[in-house]
Chains A and B, each alone.
Chain A
Amino acid sequence: MAVFGPRANLFMTATLVGSFWVGVLLIAAIWVVPLMDYNSQQRFAPDQPVPFSHKHHVSGLGLDCRYCHTSVEQSSNAGMPSTATCMTCHSQIWTNAAMLAPDRTSLAEDKPIRWTRVYGLPDYVYFDHSIHIAKGVGCTECHGAIGDMAITRKAHSLYMSWCLSCHRDPAPHLRPKDQVFNPHWRRTNSTPSPEALLVQYHIKTEALSDCGICHR
């Protein structure tokens, strides 16, 4: 009896070709899928109970972020507007709009609107808005051109590599203190240089990528 049957060569080729493709798939699963927007939900805009538009309210009406996200300067959490905050205006204008019906039932039934989260970090990551605001990192550095978004979408992956890309070299992302909330800020000739801002805010980059900064 021969050890190798007549079809042994075929088996051999099939196995080689098969394991090649398994390898390709594995590499794709491990390296490529995490980089895809589908996985990081980048550019992803979930449906919201009310189609709230930052473009209308921020760029159109000139509202400051803090009118609605009040705690962003003092707290780790930016804070979401209460129904009463919407009603400071919508008790008088656009009072019959169908789009705003969830707002009105929320007020009548005394139940808050539950917005769908766009940005979210896993529980093992520690993040704090207030320090970034205090050190001149503008909202749009992390949340993209939110002043032009009719529906809020995720501008960055929020991967660790993304946080680190700035923590290793924050200087180009800094701006003067009074421009942090401006959704349309551009660097001009009169803006202090990135290095000058780094000194002004007393930022020490040596320790900023230590694991304990974000994993405590």
Chain B
Amino acid sequence: MRWRSSTALVIVSMSVAACDNMANQPKLNPYELPFGSQINWPVRPVPHTIARGDPLNPPGPPPVSMALLERGQQRFDIYCSPCHSRLGDGNGMIVQRGFPHPPSYQSDALRNAPNQLFYDVITHGYGVMYSYADRVSPADRWAIVAYIRALQASASASLSDVPAEKRSSLQ
């Protein structure tokens, strides 16, 4: 009798231990729905609300600094250069594969356009260009605008704009 109950105990405790699934705990990972949840995909923020920590009003343009331009260049190369190209002339790789040609940033219209227009195009998209608001944060949008301004300025620069000690590397 004794050995029977102890065997039963061993079998039961072993099978209970096997049920304890350490690899799949009641812990929520990104993209995972709560077990048996009634929430339907896609889970979206409630309209007219903002994420915790986000500013109530979008920030205005920050003062231009070298760090801002470098951040802008990096973000521009990731998100805009596939179509607008690194020079901003609109001959990016995706355009070469058949995407409609965007206007060059060197066009008079865009040279004279206010900063806010660039910010708004990134936020809301324009024509066939989609919005980048989900991927480019407001602060990064201003950094990109500053960098586009630098691209526009550099296209009309001449050799005399370059510091004297760097000119030889261009000649």
Instruction: Say yes or no: A61 contacts B97, CB within 8 Å.
Output: yes
B24 at the binding interface (Cβ < 8 Å) = yes
Instruction: Say yes or no: A84 contacts B24, CB within 8 Å.
Output: no
**With A62-B82, A124-B25 in contact, do A92 and B99 touch (Cβ < 8 Å)?**
yes
B65 at the binding interface (Cβ < 8 Å) = no
**Could you tell me the dominant secondary structure of chain A's interface residues?**
loop
- For A70, give the chain B residue with the smallest CB separation: B135
A122 at the binding interface (Cβ < 8 Å) = yes
Instruction: Say yes or no: A123 contacts B79, CB within 8 Å.
Output: no
Instruction: Say yes or no: B31 contacts A80, CB within 8 Å.
Output: yes
**Interface flags, B5-28, vs A, CB<8A=1, else 0:** 000000000000000001111010
A111, B43: Cα distance in complex, Å: 10
A85 at the binding interface (Cβ < 8 Å) = yes
Q: What band does the interface of chain B fall in when counting residues whose beta carbon is under 8 Å from A? A: 20 to 34
A187 at the binding interface (Cβ < 8 Å) = no
A92, B77: Cα distance in complex, Å: 21
Q: What band does the interface of chain A fall in when counting residues whose beta carbon is under 8 Å from B? A: 20 to 34
Contact of A64 among B77, B98, B129 (CB under 8 A): B77
Instruction: Say yes or no: A93 contacts B98, CB within 8 Å.
Output: yes
Instruction: Say yes or no: B78 contacts A93, CB within 8 Å.
Output: no
**Could you tell me the dominant secondary structure of chain B's interface residues?**
loop
- For B31, give the chain A residue with the smallest CB separation: A80
Set of chain B residues within 8 Å of A92, measured between Cβ atoms: 98-100, 128
B35 at the binding interface (Cβ < 8 Å) = no
- For A178, give the chain B residue with the smallest CB separation: B74
A64, B77: Cα distance in complex, Å: 8
A112 at the binding interface (Cβ < 8 Å) = yes
**Interface flags, A37-78, vs B, CB<8A=1, else 0:** 000000000000000000000000111101100100000110
Contact of A93 among B25, B27, B79, B94 (CB under 8 A): B94
B47 at the binding interface (Cβ < 8 Å) = no
A89 at the binding interface (Cβ < 8 Å) = yes
Contact of B94 among A61, A66, A82, A84 (CB under 8 A): A61
A88 at the binding interface (Cβ < 8 Å) = yes
**Interface flags, B118-138, vs A, CB<8A=1, else 0:** 000000000011100011000
A112, B24: Cα distance in complex, Å: 23
A164, B150: Cα distance in complex, Å: 45
A87 at the binding interface (Cβ < 8 Å) = yes
A67, B130: Cα distance in complex, Å: 13
Instruction: Say yes or no: A112 contacts B42, CB within 8 Å.
Output: yes
A91 at the binding interface (Cβ < 8 Å) = yes
B93 at the binding interface (Cβ < 8 Å) = yes
Instruction: Say yes or no: A124 contacts B135, CB within 8 Å.
Output: no
Within residues 75 to 116 of chain B, which ones have a CB less than 8 A from any CB in chain A? 77-79, 82, 93-94, 97-100
Closest chain A CB from B127 CB (angstroms): 11
**22 A-B pairs in the complex with CB atoms less than 8 angstroms apart:** A61-B94, A61-B97, A67-B79, A70-B135, A77-B29, A77-B30, A82-B134, A88-B129, A89-B82, A89-B94, A92-B100, A93-B94, A93-B98, A110-B42, A111-B41, A111-B42, A112-B41, A112-B42, A122-B22, A122-B24, A123-B27, A124-B25
A sample of 10 more A-B contacts (CB under 8 A), given A67-B79, A77-B29, A92-B100, is: A62-B93, A67-B78, A67-B135, A76-B30, A85-B134, A87-B130, A91-B130, A112-B42, A123-B23, A123-B29
Name the 6 nearest CB pairs between A and B, nearest first. A122-B23, A77-B30, A123-B25, A88-B130, A64-B78, A70-B135
- Contact surface of A with B, Cβ cutoff 8 Å: 61-64, 66-67, 70, 76-77, 79-80, 82, 84-85, 87-89, 91-93, 110-112, 122-124
